[in-house]
Structure 1
Amino acid sequence: MREVDVIGVRVEMPSNQPIVLLREVAGDRYLPIWIGAVEATAIAFAQQGVVPPRPLTHDLMKDVLEATGAPLAEVRITEVRDNVFYAVLVFDSGAEVSARPSDSIALALRTGTRIVVDEEVLAEAGLAVPAEQEDEVERFREFLDQVTPEDFEAPEEQ
């Protein structure tokens, strides 16, 4: 198992499908996982520290775990079959519960729980980005965050 960080949620074009992007803590591989819009919002809210006026499902799960004294020890992304990812919630008691990776990640971000990915999953679905290209990827992301459609308009001829 390899520990990963949650880089963030992006929208894959042209399908407009949300992706959560994970990165190896001690390595150069990224793991994109296609997720639903609701889960993408839940992950983004957790990363941005957004607290809704009423608890969302993942906030409720966190509150239930705290109220029952059942801390989450680890989130494991265990396999990928036919492009579908599988995860397991591992509790301090040793109990394990099957879950979708998107829900697991949203809960892990709320509870401060580490996320790990099976080495075989990273080997099959991970994307290696060499360190020298990572700076270029980051500069491109910053450019995309700041560019507007008007930046691509042709100047008016005089």
Structure 2
Amino acid sequence: MREVDVIGVRVEMPSNQPIVLLREVSGERYLPIWIGAVEATAIAFAQQGVVPPRPLTHDLLKDVLEATGNPLSEVRITDVKDGVFYATLVLGSGAEVSARPSDSIALALRTGSRIVCAEGVLDEAGLAVPAEQEDEVEKFREFLDQVTPEDFEGPAEPGDS
């Protein structure tokens, strides 16, 4: 397992699909994972330190784990099959719970928990970014500094107000 950091979220064009971008802590590979808009917002909220007036789902799960004395100790991104990523939440008791990577990352950011990724996942889906392409990564980071959670809201559905 290799430790990864969350670089941020963005909307991939032209598909308008949000992605979360992870990077090896001690390496040059990046791991893009396509996620849902709700999870993108949850990750962006956590990265920006936004505290909603009432707990959102990931905040609630964090509070439940802490209240039961079984906090999140680590998130593991364990597999990728046919473009679908899999993760495991490792709790303080040692219990492991299967979860989507997007939810796992949102929870890890709220708890300060370490995120690790299986070497095989990075081998299969990771992208090595040579030093000369770091400019593009820096532009992406600048974009992330400007993005707001509202950028991930889709068009209003009929009947939404």
Aligned-partner SS, 1:62: helix
Q: Using the aligned pairs only, state the percent identity.
A: 88
In the TM superposition, residue 145 of structure 1 has moved relative to its aligned partner by: 7.8
Matching residue's letter, 2:22: L
Query: What do you get for the CA RMSD once the two structures are aligned?
Result: 1.8
- Give the Cα–Cα distance (whole angstroms) in 1 for the partners of residues 133 and 54 of structure 2: 42
Aligned-partner SS, 1:53: coil
Q: Does structure 1 conserve the Cα–Cα contact (< 8 Å) formed by 2:21 and 2:31? A: yes
- Give the Cα–Cα distance (whole angstroms) in 2 for the partners of residues 75 and 105 of structure 1: 7
Aligned-partner SS, 1:133: helix
Matching residue's letter, 1:94: G
Aligned-partner SS, 2:137: helix
Partner of 2:34: 34
| Residue 115 in structure 1 maps to residue 115 in structure 2 | yes
Partner of 2:79: 79
Name the TM-score, length of structure 2 as normaliser: 0.86
Gaps of 5+ in 2: 147-161
Higher RCO (CA 8 Å, separation ≥ 6 residues): 2
Larger Rg: 1
Q: Deviations over 1:96-130 (max 9, x none)?
A: 00000000000000000000000000000000001
Partner of 1:154: none
Aligned-partner SS, 1:52: coil
Q: For structure 1, which segment, 83-92 or 136-145, has the greater mean C-alpha deviation from structure 2 after superposition?
A: 136-145
Q: Does structure 1 conserve the Cα–Cα contact (< 8 Å) formed by 2:43 and 2:106? A: yes
Aligned length in residues: 146
| Residue 19 in structure 1 maps to residue 28 in structure 2 | no
In the TM superposition, residue 93 of structure 1 has moved relative to its aligned partner by: 1.1
In the TM superposition, residue 137 of structure 1 has moved relative to its aligned partner by: 3.4
Partner of 2:5: 5
Gaps of 5+ in 1: 147-158
- Give the Cα–Cα distance (whole angstroms) in 1 for the partners of residues 101 and 136 of structure 2: 28
Partner of 2:90: 90
